[in-house]
Amino acid sequence: MRTDPLFQTVTSEVRSTRTVSLSFNDQALEVPAGISVAAALLMSGINRFRATPVSESPRAPYCMMGVCFECLVDIDGVPNRQSCLIEVAEGMRIRSQEGARDLIIQADNVQTAIEQTVEVQS
């Protein structure tokens, strides 16, 4: 009778001993490298990522796969980022998203956002 595990550990899912420093609403955090921003914030005890535009109800990640948009945050000056799809990076500045956001963003932050998205999709 077979007793070997039926599943193999995905290399990217193995806990890393490396950590990265980032901040959420100016609060310094030390989190494991290689995880999503949403996972890092949740494991750091953050349970409010944004507020809805109309009722200002608190929101936090729900699906953790980019479908629900409940995890929107501002990352390095770029609003409306899905934190469940972005991997943590050293020195990242994350802010909660309060209410509706404009689509006007700083041009120098756009390239960083594009590079981060491309890295995750690769």
Q: Give the dihedral sign, CA 102/53/77/111.
A: negative
Q: Quick one: pLDDT at residue 50?
A: 93
- pLDDT tens-digit map of 36-80: 999 999 999 999 999 988 888 999 999 999 999 999 999 999 999
Tell me the CATH number at 24.
Answer: 3.10.20.440
* pLDDT at residue number 116: 66
Domain count, the chain: 1
Q: How far is CA 15 from the centre of its chain?
A: 17
* Residue 31, domain member (yes or no): yes
Asked if 96 contacts 51 with a C-beta cutoff of 8 angstroms, the reply is yes
In a domain, 115, yes or no: no
